Amino acid sequence: MSAPAIKVEGLWKEYTVGAARQQHGTFYDLLSHSLRSPLRRLRSLGGRAEDPQRFWALRDVNFEIQPGEVVGVIGRNGAGKSTLLKMLSRITAPTKGRIQVRGRLASLLEVGTGFHPELSGRENIYLNGAILGMTRSDIASKFDEIVAFAEVEKFIDTPVKRYSSGMYVRLAFAVAAHMEVDVLLVDEVLAVGDAAFQEKCLSKMSALQSVDRAVIFVSHDVGAVTRLCSRSIVLGGGMVEYDGPVTGALSHYYDRQLGSKIDLSSVRFDGTLVKEINLSGLTIEGRFVGDSGLLDPDAGITLTLHGQASRAFDDIDIVLAVFVRGTRLFTQHDTAERSPLNKGAFRSTFRLPPNLLRPGTYEVGIGLGRSAGREHSWNASVAQFRVAEIWAHHRRADAHGLISAPCGSTREYV
């Protein structure tokens, strides 16, 4: 095995909380502070570790990445992902530890870094390329490819301030996608651009894998990480929580996400049974994507309704309906027929299969009834949940419609 492309040893990064006062402060503050209390300054230098105003964004991070590996870094906000990328790309310096990078490194923390609105597309390609560390001849040799990839041939001599946001992003990504480097760091830059272009960028990035180039990919889009990476590092609280195959990383990551219980005590239900049967809470569980609160369409969604009956009934039917933009998509009943409900606490569970709902926002209506609906309780909008748009390779990005219908389709030649 060749030498690692990236070797991170005992990496720590300390930030000062409330840096606004201490570091952005005026020169006068600094002067008066150091004049008034030189001793305090000295003491605070000695006792840094105890200072509550400081915190460690990264604590003792260690890993190695081999050439050709594509590693996804995931973690909640504040887990240290961006800090890690910034240190690897030399934007900010570590507090302790050591990083070794073999070969040429480029980081893509944002698309279009340094784009100047007054300059033309052509000039910006050279400008952005130079900022990303490409040489003029590198850029010149790839110029046509970049322009074609970005689909901006007609506007190449127009100032980019006249570009649509889509064109701007396409051009910016195209430059970055054509860099020839040994180590590439990519932050969540894929969050921009339309779906078709995102798809194009992802395949361009997958192509990087075939060359012996190391890629670190940071994303909230777990689908993209699954698709691009074979290995994943999960960061939590500045530490490496998991480092290994991507499948293990995802289950490690999801295990930490809990469905939250929605309190219905303040929700007003209509109908005659409101007093006798109290619906108190709803839990929506599924696989959450990152810490976004979005549900992964590839996993089933379970909705659990918690309630309390003040007396026994012999024919109660509890229902859950899912609406999208005011249209009732479907209704589910907790039992096949109206059936008895005992006095006391009860729980009704509704399970939606994986890949039923397309990405979007859904509203949940719940209610109950007896005797053909004459006595009932109902609210058409007690909660909402959102299904994430994620790239998973077996689902088509160009499918349309409210639901993914479980139909069988074939093509035959006759």
Partner 1 sequence: MSPIDSKNSLSANPTDEIFDRDHVTVIEPPRGWHMLDWRELWAYRELLWVLTMRDIKVRYKQTVLGAAWAVIRPVVTMVIFSVVFGQLAKMPSDGFPYPIFVYAGLLPWTFFAASIGSSGQSLVGSAHLVSKVYFPRLIIPVSSVGAGLVDLLISTGILMLMMLWYGVGWSANLLAAPVLLLAVVFTSLGVGTMLSALTVAYRDFSHLTPFVVQIWMYITPVIFPISIVPERWQWLVYLNPMTGLVEGFRAAFLGKPFDPTGLGISFAIALFLFAIGVAYFEKVERRFADII
Contact criterion met (CB below 8 Å) for 318 and 368: yes
Among 68, 78, 97, 281, binds partner 1 (CB under 8 A): 97
- The pair of structure tokens assigned to 318 is 């509890």
Q: Please, what is the minimum distance in Å from the beta carbon of residue 187 to partner 1? A: 9
Q: Please, what is the minimum distance in Å from the beta carbon of residue 24 to partner 1? A: 7
89 near partner 1, rule: CB under 8 A: yes
Identify the residue whose tokens are 């033309």: 120
64 near partner 1, rule: CB under 8 A: no
Angle between helical axes of 38-46 and 27-36 (0-180°, round to 10): 90
Q: Please, what is the minimum distance in Å from the beta carbon of residue 332 to partner 1? A: 48
Site mask, partner 1, residues 107-146, x = CB under 8 A?
x-xx--xx-x-xx---x--xx--xxxx-xxxx--------
Task: Report helix, strand or coil for 262.
Answer: strand
Site mask, partner 1, residues 141-160, x = CB under 8 A?
------------------x-
293 near partner 1, rule: CB under 8 A: no
Q: Please, what is the minimum distance in Å from the beta carbon of residue 411 to partner 1? A: 42
In three state form, how does the secondary structure of 370-389 look? Answer: ECCCCEEEEEEEEEEEEECC
CA distance 364 to 384: 6
Q: Look at residues 86, 107, 103 and name the one whose alpha carbon lies nearest to residue 95.
A: 86
Q: Please, what is the minimum distance in Å from the beta carbon of residue 75 to partner 1? A: 20
Identify the residue whose tokens are 């180590």: 183
28 near partner 1, rule: CB under 8 A: yes
Binders of partner 1: how many residues, by CB under 8 A? 52
Q: How far is CA 278 from CA 123, 259, 266, in A?
A: 66, 22, 11
- The pair of structure tokens assigned to 282 is 């709803």
189 near partner 1, rule: CB under 8 A: no
Residue ranges in contact with partner 1 by CB under 8 A: 15, 19, 23-28, 30, 86-105, 107, 109-110, 113-114, 116, 118-119, 123, 126-127, 130-133, 135-138, 159, 180-182
